[in-house]
Amino acid sequence: MSEEEVSYFRRALLGWAAQTPRPMPWKGEKDPYKIWLSEVILQQTRVEQGMPYYEKFVKAYPDSRALAGAPEDEVLKMWEGLGYYSRARNLLQTARHIAFDRNGVFPDKYGDIRSLKGVGDYTAAAIASFAFNLPYPVVDGNVYRVLSRYFALDAATDLSSSKKMFASLAGKLLDPDRPGAFNQAIMDFGALCCTPAQPDCGNCPLSQRCLALVKGTPADYPVRLKKTAKKERFFLFLIVRRGDKTLVRKRTGKDIWKGLYEFPNIETGSTAELSETDIKAIFPEGTPKGVLLGEPSDFCRQTLTHREITAVFRELVVPENSPANFIRDGIFSNCIETDLAELKKKFAFPVIISGFLKKFV
């Protein structure tokens, strides 16, 4: 790519950004803590959805020390609804590292920023360029789309070899004098002009030299390998009711819902009907006297990166004065009893459960 081509791209993009305001609460922010917070929230989250969470976090935890002192349950509760909870756990771990091991000072070198837990290439480049004006290009879905269209690149963006090529291309185009402004401009441009569906090519500052437009095929870019089918899983959650109490359990396994709460549950077949094996999994000693199993709820669904989760909720009504020994063992083990009215206030649940609770309690 010639100097002239690079300079045309930079000029067109930065000129467009100067005339296209896109206000966001973290824009122009120089505090690396707040930039990091916004970038972690925006990983896998739309800007509109992330904004209120950012405001809420900044208000509750204005710096790394404030966040470091928060209990994990409180942070997870505040994160509730954003999904991908490993982000919240990493956020807390990193805040504690900065507050206690680094005396509250956020790292200011790319390598040190990149080594923070939960910070990948993209987030490190965003923090380094926005907070410290360091010349590292951001490469996210927006950048893949803009570059693959502009240069009509057929390389599949989900191949690691292509990722390197895109990163190198973005690095050549990056304006070393204004890396933060350039990174912000290319992200805004991808979000507002060169959008996934129906890009605004008629008003595009790059249209004169955009090769996908010349070919008449912007919609063909970016190229991706075929997606693998998502695995489906089905769960039955039991809302055990004894008077106005119920049971919840904290998840401890190493999965994306670690640290969140759940109701006792079993993995079932694909329908709301329970098989004999399901019943046995709930009550290995036979259905206890006086216990009533309520009707199944409507199906609740959640789509994760590699999974489609379908859940059904059923009440399990236990007589208030029964000893109900069974709720200490099997699928009920490690549960704690809590007031039904406290559920939504006190515990952070995976989206599939909190979504159901909005209608239930």
Site residues (vs ligand SF4, CB under 6 A):
146, 149-150, 193-194, 199-201, 204, 206-207, 210, 212-213, 218
Identify how many contiguous H helices and E strands the chain contains and give both numbers.
15, 8
Nearer to ligand SF4, 98 or 206 (CB): 206
Query: Is-contact 272 296, C-beta < 8 A?
Result: yes
Nearer to ligand SF4, 218 or 350 (CB): 218
Query: Is-contact 290 318, C-beta < 8 A?
Result: yes
Instruction: State yes or no: is 273 an active-site residue.
Output: no
CB atoms within 10 A of CB 308: 14
CA quadruple 78, 80, 81, 85: dihedral, nearest 10: 110
Amino acid making up residue 53: Y
Query: Is-contact 146 210, C-beta < 8 A?
Result: no
Nearer to ligand SF4, 189 or 326 (CB): 189
Calculate the alpha carbon distances from 309 to 49, 233, 306, 326, 355 in Å: 22, 5, 10, 27, 13
Nearer to ligand SF4, 196 or 294 (CB): 196
Which residue in the list 5, 39, 80, 308 is annotated as catalytic?
Answer: 39
Q: How far is the CB of 43 from ligand SF4 (least distance, A)?
A: 24
Nearer to ligand SF4, 152 or 340 (CB): 152
Helix (H, G, I), strand (E, B) or coil at 121: helix
Calculate the alpha carbon distances from 323 to 5, 276, 327 in Å: 78, 25, 9
Give catalytic residues, as residue numbers.
Answer: 39
